[in-house]
């Protein structure tokens, strides 16, 4: 097993005895734990609770873990003890083993740096792992998810402006409705993204609270009373994310409500993006025998059997990613229900799914912007032709001739194969100028 000299006996027992399912505990949470350990070693060194040599060695080892130098030494899988103790001790032992190598030249072991007494001083799995989960999630949101959604918002807003003059047939229940502006539909999509970002920002406020300092059950037994607050302040300063001590550590350790809320916000974003992707699939369908009012970029051959076929592949990527996010939310919610008394005993699966959902939405939104939305074009002839022949345009006449006469006119147009406009003009109900003025008001 690679790195077995670096991680210690408790990690090896976890590797040997947990069922092997091929899904490792998420590295972003491992690295967030390492950051917490690094800052804790610095604070304990300042307080005189660790020697300067041990403090510096642990800090160096932690920094290396954060940089990914020892990624292969974290073999514990997601499906482990519900607190995440297997992965937490994996971190403690890797840091102690590497710190000992820094100090003595011999990797591993418990001297002069002990994984529990020194690396884990004043900490418990039950306050460190939830804190690392919150930190890892928000660091990813700031670096990846919010920028990806911001790009999508910009792309959709740009298309809203570009398509502001394009009239198309509106559709409700998948049936023709009154005309509308294509740009207005994209304004709606942009607003969905904007509101999704607001929902994530709201959930972010609860994720900012870290239970660090609560140790096993929330009462802070065996930890220096000021250490955790100092670590949280250092983490906030370093990341630019305003982490704060939890207002109530018993809540922050006994429940995973903040993660459930965050997952719910991610699920809402997923539902919004799914709706947009589906709309673009419908509007681009055909292109000759479907709606065909917009053209999506042709990225790759769409069929192994039908030459020249182009599929809305990125829309389908987004739909599938959204489906996974919705499934992850169900798992997170169910896992959070397993909280018993002072601890939620399913934190690893929550961590894995929350981070995967964040990753999926960030990558899918980025691809949707870059490979689909930014390259969309409108088929002006198709949109204008569909508006011209739509029976729903009779609604424009209803205020003039009344609902019943308008309905009868629509039925006659359908039966005769003529357009509503041509019938209305031939009967003197409106002039060409009147008709165009009514369309211009949409």
CA 339/CA 113 separation, integer angstroms: 34
CA 32/CA 239 separation, integer angstroms: 11
- The beta strand positions in 304-392, using DSSP E, are 339-340, 343-344, 377-378
CA 125/CA 86 separation, integer angstroms: 9
CA 145/CA 388 separation, integer angstroms: 42
**Architecture of domain 390-440 in this structure:** Orthogonal Bundle (1.10)
Nearest Cα residue to 84 out of 30, 13, 20: 30
Cβ-defined contacts of 326-329 (< 8 Å, 24+): 326/267, 326/270, 326/271, 328/263, 328/266, 328/353, 328/354, 328/356, 328/357, 329/263, 329/264, 329/266, 329/267, 329/353, 329/357
Residue with tokens 């609270």: 209
Cα atoms in the Cβ-side hemisphere of radius 13 Å centred on 405: 11
- What's the confidence (pLDDT) of residue 2? 44
Cβ-Cβ contacts under 8 Å for 381 (sequence gap 6 or more): none
- What's the confidence (pLDDT) of residue 318? 97
**Architecture of domain 134-214+248-380 in this structure:** Up-down Bundle (1.20)
- What's the confidence (pLDDT) of residue 309? 85
> Domain spans of the chain?
9-121, 134-214+248-380, 390-440
Cβ-Cβ contacts under 8 Å for 442 (sequence gap 6 or more): 167, 178, 179, 180, 181
Q: Give the rounded distance of the alpha carbon of 241 from its chain centre.
A: 18
Ramachandran class of 353: left when φ > 0, alpha when ψ lies in -120 to 50, beta otherwise? alpha
Cα atoms in the Cβ-side hemisphere of radius 13 Å centred on 175: 3
Tens digit of each residue's pLDDT (9 = 90 or more) over 230-241: 999 999 999 999
- Is 3's pLDDT higher than 50? no
- Is 302's pLDDT higher than 50? yes
Nearest Cα residue to 214 out of 170, 264, 263, 252: 252
Q: Is the pTM of this model over 0.85?
A: yes
What tokens does 309 get? Answer: 């076929």
Percent of the chain with pLDDT over 70: 99
Q: Is the separation of the CB atoms in 225 and 209 below 8 Å?
A: no
Catalytic residue, candidates 4, 164, 237, 303: 303
Tens digit of each residue's pLDDT (9 = 90 or more) over 59-92: 999 999 999 999 999 999 999 999 999 999 999 9
Tens digit of each residue's pLDDT (9 = 90 or more) over 187-196: 999 999 999 9
What tokens does 321 get? Answer: 């990613």
Domain 9-121: assigned CATH number: 1.10.275.10
pLDDT band for 339, please (50, 70, 90 cuts). confident
- What's the confidence (pLDDT) of residue 5? 59
Q: Give the rounded distance of the alpha carbon of 251 from its chain centre.
A: 25
- What's the confidence (pLDDT) of residue 308? 82
- Is 410's pLDDT higher than 50? yes
Q: How do beta strands 244-245 and 209-210 pair?
A: parallel
Residue with tokens 């369309």: 439
Tell me the pLDDT of the chain averaged across its residues: 95
- Is 294's pLDDT higher than 90? yes
- What's the confidence (pLDDT) of residue 1? 38
Tens digit of each residue's pLDDT (9 = 90 or more) over 21-50: 999 999 999 999 999 999 999 999 999 999
Answer yes or no: 134 catalytic. Answer: no
Catalytic residue, candidates 17, 173, 304, 426: 173
In this prediction, residues 406-424 reach a mean pLDDT of 95
DSSP states of 269-294 as a string?
HHHHHHHHHHHHHHHT--SSSS---E
Measured CA to CA in angstroms, residue 366 lies from 187, 202, 370 at distances of 19, 22, 6
What tokens does 247 get? Answer: 């207002």
């Amino acid at each position: 097993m690679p790195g077995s000299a670096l991680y210690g006996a408790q990690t090896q027992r976890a590797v040997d005895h947990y069922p092997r399912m091929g899904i490792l505990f998420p590295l972003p949470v491992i690295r967030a734990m390492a950051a917490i350990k690094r800052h804790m070693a610095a604070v304990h060194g300042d307080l005189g609770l660790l020697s300067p040599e041990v403090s510096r060695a642990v800090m160096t080892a932690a920094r290396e873990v954060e940089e990914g130098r020892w990624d292969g030494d974290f073999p514990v899988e997601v499906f482990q003890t519900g607190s995440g103790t297997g992965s937490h001790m994996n971190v403690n032992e890797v840091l102690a083993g590497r710190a000992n190598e820094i100090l003595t030249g011999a990797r591993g072991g418990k001297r002069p740096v002990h994984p529990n007494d020194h690396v884990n001083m004043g900490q418990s799995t039950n306050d460190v792992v939830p804190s690392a989960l919150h930190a890892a999630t928000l660091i990813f949101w700031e670096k990846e998810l919010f920028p990806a959604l911001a790009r999508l918002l910009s792309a959709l807003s740009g298309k809203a402006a570009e398509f502001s003059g394009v009239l198309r047939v509106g559709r409700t229940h998948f049936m023709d409705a009154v005309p509308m502006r294509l740009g207005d539909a994209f304004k709606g999509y942009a607003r969905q993204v904007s509101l999704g970002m607001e929902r994530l920002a709201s959930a972010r406020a609860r994720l900012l609270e870290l239970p660090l300092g609560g140790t096993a059950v929330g009462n802070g037994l065996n930890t220096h009373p000021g250490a955790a607050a100092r670590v949280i302040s250092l983490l906030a300063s370093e990341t630019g994310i305003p982490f704060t001590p939890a207002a109530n550590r018993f809540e922050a350790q006994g429940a995973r409500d903040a993660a459930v809320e965050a997952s719910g916000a991610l699920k809402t974003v997923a539902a919004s993006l799914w709706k947009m992707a589906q709309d673009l699939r419908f509007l681009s369908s055909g292109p000759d025998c479907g709606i065909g009012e917009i053209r999506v970029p042709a990225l790759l051959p769409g069929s192994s059997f039908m030459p020249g076929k182009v599929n809305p592949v990125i829309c389908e990527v987004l739909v599938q990613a959204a489906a996974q996010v919705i499934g992850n939310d169900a798992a997170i919610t169910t896992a959070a229900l397993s909280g018993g008394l002072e601890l939620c005993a399913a934190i690893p699966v929550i961590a894995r799914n929350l981070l995967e959902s964040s990753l999926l939405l960030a990558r899918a939104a980025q691809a949707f912007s870059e490979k689909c939305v930014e390259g969309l074009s409108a088929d002006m002839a198709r949109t204008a032709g569909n508006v011209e022949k739509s029976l729903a345009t009779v609604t424009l006449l209803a205020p003039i001739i009344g609902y019943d006469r308008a309905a009868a006119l629509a039925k006659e147009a359908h039966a005769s194969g003529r357009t509503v406009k041509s019938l209305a003009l031939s009967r003197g109900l409106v002039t060409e100028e009147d008709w165009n003025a009514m369309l211009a008001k949409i």
